[in-house]
């Protein structure tokens, strides 16, 4: 199964991700989940970015919170638009989940 998970909160949701075992995992950071892509705690990036996954962050949600693509702290996180989200869901992933 190819699963894309929308992470919409900054709380630690890694326990849920640990239980998922897809062959391909995509994580799209939306709403307050974008803080995983922009915030470092004690000099370290969020533990949300430790998975073997393809990471995306929604540009519109970054900008709403006063950030830009230059504020993303890890190069493995790709900044995408809502149109890109639709393409990912339709072309790259079989299932989606909202965390």
Q: What is the pLDDT of residue 68?
A: 95
Parent domain of 84: 2-98
Q: What pTM did the predictor assign?
A: 0.92
How do strand 54-58 and strand 44-45 relate by DSSP bridges? unpaired
Torsion-angle region of residue 8: left (phi > 0), alpha (psi -120 to 50) or beta? Answer: alpha
CATH code of the domain containing 78:
3.40.1260.10
Residue 32: exposure state from Cβ atoms within 10 A (0-12, 13-18, ≥19)? middle
Contact 26, 17 (CB under 8 A): no
Q: What is the pLDDT of residue 28?
A: 97
Q: What is the mean pLDDT of each run of 10 residues along the chain (99 residues)?
A: 91 72 92 92 84 95 96 95 96 92
Q: What is the pLDDT of residue 64?
A: 97
Q: What is the pLDDT of residue 69?
A: 95
Q: What is the pLDDT of residue 13?
A: 61
The total domain count for the chain is 1
């Amino acid at each position: 199964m190819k699963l894309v998970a929308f992470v919409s909160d900054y709380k630690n949701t890694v326990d849920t991700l640990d239980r998922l075992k897809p062959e391909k995992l995509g994580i799209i950071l939306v709403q307050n989940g974008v803080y995983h892509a922009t915030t470092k705690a004690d000099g370290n990036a969020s533990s949300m970015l430790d998975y073997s996954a393809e990471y995306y962050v929604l540009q519109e949600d970054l900008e709403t919170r006063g950030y830009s693509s230059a504020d993303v702290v890890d190069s493995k996180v790709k900044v995408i638009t809502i149109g890109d989200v639709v393409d990912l869901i339709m072309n790259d992933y079989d299932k989606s989940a909202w965390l």
